[in-house]
Every structure is written in structure tokens, then in C-alpha cells.
Amino acid sequence: MITTQNKQTLLLILIAFLFSFAFRLVWVFQFQDYEQFYFNDQFMINTNDGYYFAEGARDILAGESQENDLSPIDNAVSIATAFFATILPFSFESIIFYMPAFLASLIVVPMILIGKALKHIEVGFVAALFGAIAHSYYNRTMIGYYDTDMLNIVFPVFLLWSLIFALQTREEKYILFSGLEIVAYRWWYPQSYSLEFAFIALVIAYTLYLLYKKEDIRYELLLLGVMFFAMMGLDNLVRFGIVIALYLAIKQGLIQKFALPLFVLALLSFFATGGFAPIWGSLSSYVFTTATSATGSDLSLHFYNVVGTVREAGKIPFDVFANRISGHSVTFILAIGGYLWLAYRHKAMLLALPLLGLGFLAYAGGLRFTIYAVPVLAFGIAYLIYQLSSLTNTEFKKYFFMSLLSFAALLPNIFHIIEYKVPTVLMQQEVQALDQLKNISQREDYVAAWWDYGYPIRYYGDVKTLIDGGKHSGSDNFATSFLLTNPQTPAARMARLDVEYTETKFNLPSDAPAKYRTNLANMVLDYGFSDANDFLAALSLEELKLPEKTRDVYLYLPNRMMGIYPTITYFSNLDLMSGTQGAQPFYHFTTLFEEDQGYIYLGYYNRQDIRLNKATGNIEIDKGRVAIGVKDFTLTYYDANENLQHTTNEIKFDGKLHLVYMKSYNQFLVVDESVYNSTYFRLFVLEDYDTNLFEPAILTPHTKIYKLKI
């Protein structure tokens, strides 16, 4: 009988796994003929952060990593990837592309096992199908989404399974499983503190309930002790060894009578090696944010807070919140009802509250958290479907209605998968430019670019960057924002200064005050200024001497940056001493336009229609309620030899705005004087560079890379 049940469980797991994996192949079939998504005949990944882990895996396999290059050679994802690349007969690019689809589909295993623990394996199976392809889970674990998310939910759902079995069966092996899952989860995702602690809090609550009922709690204390030891802020191998040693001692019956002292020792060890610090830090960074932050040690400077610009950390509408968790608002509400019913009938499912609670944080703290609620509410909708189908009077009708209702609930998620056509991070031509850069640069050279492109640049160009997906605080972003949005002279000097100060800081002793100041604070103080704004103004003066050049610096200017230019300006367009944000420059970028009856309609600017009145030479906003004169009109285009050409015609001598039509890109720009003279605009849009400061390294329509000459 047990063998038959095990075979049934394995069969259902296999079916659910193949179901999950197959739907992740939809993207491949949709884009298999789209050449721009390939590089070296391999699909490229579609998440920026993935290139961080890919860099680490690449360097592990190569056996080298230059000093201070920030390559994550000790990261779990990189280590696992290098391991797979060593044992599997596939290319490195194929492994990182398909890994998410394979690993993320493993979530069906603990979900079906939980269903088995609840004596409703059908519920676990339907929940596994639903959870594997729900909006949020699919989005962050789709094929090519090479990131920690491919196991970030798998590990806690396995932990939920082992805790349910532990408290149900009180078997020693589930203490071992729970401890090892925590160790593995922390190894894979160090930010797992909060969720692990929430699970522990529920086990503590259950233990106190048993104590109130005057029942034996030694097993629960041993479980808690092992969990707290597994959560300590020590090396992974140390915690792994402690968990194994404790399990063997428990298995031999050596420490059952010392359950309470063990628990107290584990609790004290947990607090002594970290405690609440990382828990609070990981939550507060997303939930509690301010527009600016002050930093600089001896010099108090104010910088713009990057969290305000990260979409995944912003508030989301209810329908988006519900759809990402359950596929549809109706399904979401029904799933909540189903979960409450399930938890009422099976109290063990209350252990899923940490996942549900963290998922619901998304409604206030950003859409990235919705993924945690997916498996819990998948059980909710699956249980509701099971109970409704059980109202029929035959087994055939029961399973028929289960299949029908399950399909109806899955349908919005299936439609979402078909419509969710996410592009690769970079297009083929952009990667080709970085591949060229790798051949003309040195590994110690720097590329200055916005942080969105940092990891791909490091992976394909094999160079260093000033900012990236992990290093992009307001103080880090300031220099890059400044050099992209200011005229060429101060921009070039800031590029040289930030690179040299970054490298110098690496070699400072740990007790040096400058080690903990921002680069900008060190610059201001070293050059004898007390006001950072005065220092920035002095960058335009020839009298300000730059540090000695130790390496080359390149500027990476992609066309794709057009859409985020206003966001970039926020980080340097402020008074550093007071934190007061400056007025935003006028910047309008559009690829949607049409010409009709004396107007060129240019879409929307700040949610108001914007158009060019050809008769008056004015840019009109909100149906002409606001009119601003256009100074000149510039046309850019590539000739037959793929050389950029441009012509400029004056429209109004006293005009305030510049109108640019980039013909080869089929896009319009309307900008003010500050944007028109910015380094990004002059070098990318017009290829008008100061030959004393820059020289072109690679010029393509998609990407332009310049080398700094100073």
C-alpha cells in the first residue's frame, strides 16, 4: 500500500514538473527565430542581475578573478552554476538560460508532499500546477530569468513541508530536514532571515500552546534549538556541521533530556551572532524610504534615495496585486476563502502564514513580495476546488469537475504566459559592441554607465563599473548621473575623479576615515572645499588639477537610456548640502507621433498632450494652454556608409526648447538647454564630442562607447 502511494506521489510530481517546465518553454517557441535575442548562436538571459551571477560562475570556471572586481565567486548561484557547467554536456549560456525553468519547477515537489501530509494529495497536485505558473512566480522564474528567485520560494516551501511533518509525526528526521533547509536557504539567499524567523515564531507559539495544555514539549524545543542554531550568523559549513551533529545526538537519544538548555543555548547563540539586525535591515530598506539620505562622515551630504525609483519597491494597485498572486481578482478572493477553510480544517496550514504575510506586504511595499503568497493561495484555490467537486455523487464527476474548475482557474495564468513576451536584457548588436570593447580594453579599466547596465557590461566586456545592480545607492549613483547629465568638461573630470577615488579607497587601511566617506565627500575635503556645491562648480575650471591617471575609462551610452534619462537626472540634480531637489529639466522622448493639419502630435508629456505648432514654432501642451518657443530643429540620420549626419535649422532666436528628430530611430526629442548640452545628448545623439576630452571607441546606432582622454 505504501509503495503504491509513493509511486502515485512520484507520478504526480513528474506530471506537475513537466507541466511547469513545458509552459516555460513557450517563450523559446515564441522567439526561436528572433535573431536579436541570440549571441554566439545561444539565447541570452532576460534579467540584469543574472549577469552578476554569470560573471561569478565564469570566473570560478576560469580560476581567476582580478582584485576588487566585485565578481561573486563565493555566491551560491555562481557556485551552483559552475558545478552544473562542469558536470553537464551543455554550453555555459544554455545552462544559465534553462536553469530557472528547471530549478523553479522543483516547487511542485514540496507542494504535492504537503498535500500528501494533509491526506489530500489531489489538493497538493492542483496547487502545484497553479503555483508553478501563477503570474508572479512565472515572471520571476521564467526561462532566462537567471536569478536567486529560481529557488527563493522552493526552499521555504520545503521548510513548510518539513515543519508540517515534524509537528505531525514528531520524527527526528524532520528536525534534520528543517535545519538543513534553513542552512541551504541561507546559503542560497542570505536575506532569508526574516522569513525563517517568522516560521520559528509560529513554532514557538505552537510550543507555548502545548505547554499551556501541559503536554510534552521536548520535541518542539529540540526542533526550535536546531532551527536557531541553523540560523546563526556563522559560516555555512559550521552551521551545517552543527545541525548534523545535533541530529545524530538526537537520533542516539543523547540530548532529549537537555531539550530546554539546548533551546536556551541556541537562542543566545542566535542573538550573539546577528539576531534581529539583518531582519530589520532587509525589511526597512524596502518598507521605510525617504527621498534623500545624508552621508559623508566628516561632511554631511544629501543624496537621492534609489528605492524611490525601483518599480518593485513601489506601491501597486489591488488588481495588479491580486493578479500577480492568483491570476485574477476573483480567483484571488476565492483563494483567500479556500485558504481560511483549509487552515480551519487543517491547523498545520497556519504555518504558511509567514509566506502569506510576506506576500501581502507587496500591497504596501512593492510587487517583488507577491511571489511569496503564490504557493499559499494556490493551496487555497485548490482546496476550494476539491471541496466543491466533492459535492458530486460519483468519483468520476468529482474528478471531472476538479479538472474543469482547475482549468478555469489556470486559464488567466496561461494567457499571461502567452502574452508575457519579455525581451533579453541586451540586443545582439549591443552585446557585440561590448564584445568588441573586451578586445580593446584591459580588465582593470572602468566603464561609466547607468547601474541598469552594470552587470551585463562586466560580464560581456570583462571590465569594471562604478555602479551596478548591487551598488547603486544615492551616493554611488551621483557621480554617474552627474557625468551623463552635465556638460562635457565637468563630466569628464568627474569620471576620472570617481574612478581614481574608487580604486584608492580599496587600498585604504580599515581605520582610515576616508574609507567610510563617500567618494564625493573625500573629493570635496581633499580639494579644500567646505561646500560640495562649490566643488562641483569648480569642476568646470582649468585650475582644478586631476589625480594621476591609473587606468582607462570608457563611457557606455546606449539608445535604450533615452527612456530613463529623467530618472537619471534626479540623482545629481539636487543641492548636496540641503537635499533640496532642483527643478527637473524639460525632457520629452517619444516614438509615437503623427503629423496632421499644421501640427506634429508628440504623444503625452506629464500626462498632458504635447504637440508642435508648425505655424508658430511653439511646443504646445494641454491643447495649447501652455506654449513654449522652439529654438531650433535638428534632424539626425545615418547615411549609406552608416555614418551619423545631422542638420540644424533655427526656428526662434529666443526659443527655450530644442526639437530633434532622430530619423533612423524614428523618435523625437524635445529638450531644454541643459539636456541639449549634456554629455549623453552631445555624445550619443549628435556624436559631437570635445576632442580634448573624449575619443570614440565604438560607434553603432544602438550603443556608443567613448574613451576618456584625461
> What does the pLDDT average to over 582-603?
94
Per-residue confidence (pLDDT) for residue 278, from 0 to 100:
64
Q: What is the distance in angstroms between the CA of the first residue and the CA of the last residue of the chain?
A: 78
Q: What are the structural domain ranges in the chain?
A: 2-419, 428-564, 584-708
pLDDT grade, residue 279 (50/70/90)? low
Per-residue confidence (pLDDT) for residue 4, from 0 to 100:
80
Q: Which three cell numbers stand for residue 140?
A: 520571476
Q: CB–CB of 476/571 below 8 Å? A: no
Q: Which three cell numbers stand for residue 159?
A: 521548510
At residue 644, φ and ψ (nearest 5 deg) are -75, 130
pLDDT grade, residue 194 (50/70/90)? confident
Per-residue confidence (pLDDT) for residue 65, from 0 to 100:
81
Per-residue confidence (pLDDT) for residue 274, from 0 to 100:
76
Per-residue confidence (pLDDT) for residue 2, from 0 to 100:
66
Per-residue confidence (pLDDT) for residue 309, from 0 to 100:
62
In whole angstroms, give the CA distance from residue 426 to residue 461.
13
> What does the pLDDT average to over 410-431?
97
Distance of CA 709 to the CA centre of its chain: 34
More confident residue, 614 or 314: 614
In whole angstroms, give the CA distance from residue 688 to residue 389.
70
pLDDT grade, residue 366 (50/70/90)? low
Q: How many CB atoms lie within 10 A of CB 308?
A: 15
Q: CB–CB of 709/699 below 8 Å? A: no
Q: CB–CB of 595/535 below 8 Å? A: no
Which range is least confidently modeled, 25-29, 35-39, 359-363? Answer: 359-363
Of the candidates 624, 519, 611, the one whose C-alpha atom is nearest the C-alpha of residue 299 is 519
Does the pLDDT value for residue 43 go beyond 70? yes
How far, in Å, are 39, 105, 145, 188, 338 from residue 118 at the CA level? 48, 22, 33, 28, 14
pLDDT tens-digit series, residues 622-673: 998 999 999 999 999 999 999 999 999 999 999 999 999 999 999 999 999 9
Of the candidates 6, 19, 54, 17, the one whose C-alpha atom is nearest the C-alpha of residue 425 is 54
Per-residue confidence (pLDDT) for residue 351, from 0 to 100:
97
Per-residue confidence (pLDDT) for residue 361, from 0 to 100:
87
CA triple 446-673-449, angle to 5 deg: 15
pLDDT grade, residue 68 (50/70/90)? confident
Does the pLDDT value for residue 687 go beyond 60? yes
pLDDT grade, residue 313 (50/70/90)? low
Does the pLDDT value for residue 296 go beyond 60? no
Does the pLDDT value for residue 67 go beyond 80? no
> What does the pLDDT average to over 306-331?
81
Distance of CA 599 to the CA centre of its chain: 41
Burial 474-513 (b: 16+ CB within 10 A, else e): bbbbbbbbbbbbbebbbbbbbbbbbbbbbbebeeeeeeee
> What does the pLDDT average to over 684-698?
98
In whole angstroms, give the CA distance from residue 309 to residue 683.
25
Per-residue confidence (pLDDT) for residue 597, from 0 to 100:
85
> What does the pLDDT average to over 98-126?
97
pLDDT tens-digit series, residues 520-576: 999 999 999 999 999 999 999 988 999 999 999 999 999 999 999 999 999 999 999
> What does the pLDDT average to over 467-490?
96
- Quickly list H helices, 558-614: 565-570
In whole angstroms, give the CA distance from residue 77 to residue 164.
28
10 Å CB burial of residue 256 (0-12, 13-18, 19+) is middle
Which range is least confidently modeled, 72-81, 334-343, 590-599? Answer: 590-599
> What does the pLDDT average to over 26-34?
97
Per-residue confidence (pLDDT) for residue 339, from 0 to 100:
98
More confident residue, 79 or 287: 79
pLDDT tens-digit series, residues 481-511: 999 999 999 999 999 999 999 999 999 999 9
Per-residue confidence (pLDDT) for residue 368, from 0 to 100:
82
CA dihedral 360, 361, 366, 367 (to 10 degrees): -30
Q: CB–CB of 471/72 below 8 Å? A: no
At residue 87, φ and ψ (nearest 5 deg) are -100, -15
Q: CB–CB of 9/114 below 8 Å? A: no
pLDDT grade, residue 285 (50/70/90)? low
Which range is least confidently modeled, 182-186, 302-306, 650-654? Answer: 302-306
State in words which class domain 428-564 has: alpha beta
pLDDT grade, residue 273 (50/70/90)? confident
> What does the pLDDT average to over 456-460?
97
pLDDT tens-digit series, residues 610-621: 999 999 999 999
Q: CB–CB of 483/491 below 8 Å? A: yes
Q: Which three cell numbers stand for residue 413?
A: 495564468
Does the pLDDT value for residue 292 go beyond 90? no
> What does the pLDDT average to over 478-482?
98
